[in-house]
A and B are shown apart, each in its own frame.
Chain A
Amino acid sequence: MVALFRAATYAVLLAGGGVFADILYKGSRTVFQAEAPFINTTFLFSSPESLHVFEWEGRRREMGDREFRAFREREPGAADVRAESFVYSAGGIWPCIAGTLLLVAGAMSLALAVGVSSAVYLSEYARDGRFIRFVRLAILNLAGVPSIVFGLFGFGMFVIFFGWNVSLIAGWFTLAFMVLPVVITASEEALKAVPQGLRAAALALGATRWQTIRTAVLPYALPGILTSSILGIARVAGETAPIMFTAAYVVRDQLPWEVERAVDFLFQGVMALPYHIYVVSSKIPQNEYTERVQYGTAFVFLLLVALVAAASILLRNRLRARLRW
């Protein structure tokens, strides 16, 4: 029997390890390079372009859009060269990185603001009754809703009804609603974990209910709330379905902040890493050129989520060290 349990555990390890090894191996070939600066800065810090592959003077050439155009103007006789083209296989993924970071920051801020407020209400103010039990049930159910349904909800609500179109802000709200149940449930747990004695002490010193929460409860629940939002961050960064109708552009030449009017920052869509992987991977035919971008993007994506999570964990640990009981 033990052998079976052990085998199951190793199977998980194998699957996980396999996925990571595959992405790390293939992705690192795109992201790193042999010559200085050893990091493929073009891939990380430029916009995606089409890749053109062709034979020229007996040699195989690979060029991005701009390079190819310049080449055809420069070289006599190159104007009618026949090249195979692969979209998004040249250039880089900088707009996707920026877009994903913006989506995560905005959606998490919204979700934390709404979610923590709601958790404060549920754990500190609301009296347990039929209505509150119903609310909890609703939150629980919301957590189980497939992300594509949130995508459709966001599309109907924010994109169409509010008329925000496919935009950064529509993505923020859609993603925020998606992680809200996680944030509420976990924040409530964190609030409940604060010793009752601290509340009693504050009240006995003449604090109002709100003063008690603000000064003797919330600060000590913060590390727990942050812990839970780390899971939320991974989900917000990773989900493709909620943003494909609400926030993600297949391609956008300018970066999110390169806008004429400030409001356009909010009301324009962005590129995003998970959606870019989807777009690139759904191009047919697949070949070595598309593979580079897919794995490179996946690699960067994993790294980014890991970095954001690590930053949150560091922040939490610093808070914890300051507030120990």
Chain B
Amino acid sequence: MTSHVGRLYALALALLVFFLAWAAFAARPWARTAATSTSPQLRALAAREHRLRARSVLVRRVVARRWATYRAELQRRQARNAAAARLASAPAPSVRVVTLPPLTITRTS
């Protein structure tokens, strides 16, 4: 009786040890350590990604600055065009030489 119960406990313990070992093996803890600490390609890729991210920030800044310059120049050009259009559409001054006595005079201002 005692030896029968003992064998059951031993079997349960063996099953538990087996499943724990299987879970530990399935987790492959050695794979992560090897990838991060030993692969030079992965390190190079990570560094490249970092450089590209930094460069993209710079490019975004340059584009924003050029866009602002372009907008300001566009605004100036539109103002110049509007002024030119205003002048072009302004009625021509009505003036002619007459022999009347002047009502007022012009001189260097």
Are A and B part of the same complex? no
